[in-house]
Amino acid sequence: DAGITQSPRHKVTETGTPVTLRCHQTENHRYMYWYRQDPGHGLRLIHYSYGVKDTDKGEVSDGYSVSRSKTEDFLLTLESATSSQTSVYFCAISERDSSYEQYFGPGTRLTVT
């Protein structure tokens, strides 16, 4: 998985609780992304980062925030989890911008009850 780890790999949480997912890379790539994958929707971009402290919104950013204080770490936070955020979350990295190939982590399966 190209030097990308995600933690936790599985999480069950209750509605209304905060949740933070972590993506860690050892490739020193500039760009990092958070996607969610749901049946019938494919992959949808939540947020992305183009450098330390530089982030921007994706297609489905409502209810999510991100932070990147170091090149290697990109955090995704659900401030108050809802059942609609039950999904599989993937982190990805790329050396150049979004037009180029991306390398994906193994995913985090999040269930909000």
Partner 1 sequence: SQQGEEDPQALSIQEGENATMNCSYKTSINNLQWYRQNSGRGLVHLILIRSNEREKHSGRLRVTLDTSKKSSSLLITASRAADTASYFCATDRYSGAGSYQLTFGKGTKLSVIP
By the criterion CB under 8 A, which residues form the site for partner 1?
A: 1, 4, 33, 35, 40-45, 48, 50, 56, 58-59, 90, 92, 97-107
Find the shortest distance in angstroms from Cβ 16 to partner 1. Answer: 28
- Which of residues 50 and 67 has its CB atom nearest to partner 1 in the complex? 50
Cis geometry, peptide bond prior to residue 39 (ω within 30 degrees of 0): no
What's the longest Cα–Cα distance across the chain?
A: 38
**Comparison of 62 and 101: residue with beta carbon closer to partner 1:** 101
Q: Write down the least CB distance from residue 50 to partner 1, Å.
A: 7
- Cβ-based nearer residue to partner 1, 87 or 102: 102
- Kind and range of the H or E run holding 55: strand 54-57
Local structure of 85: helix, strand or coil: helix
Please, what is the minimum distance in Å from the beta carbon of residue 107 to partner 1? 6
d(CA 46, CA 11): 19
Of 54 and 79, the one with the shorter C-beta distance to partner 1 is 54
Contact 39, 56 (CB under 8 A): no
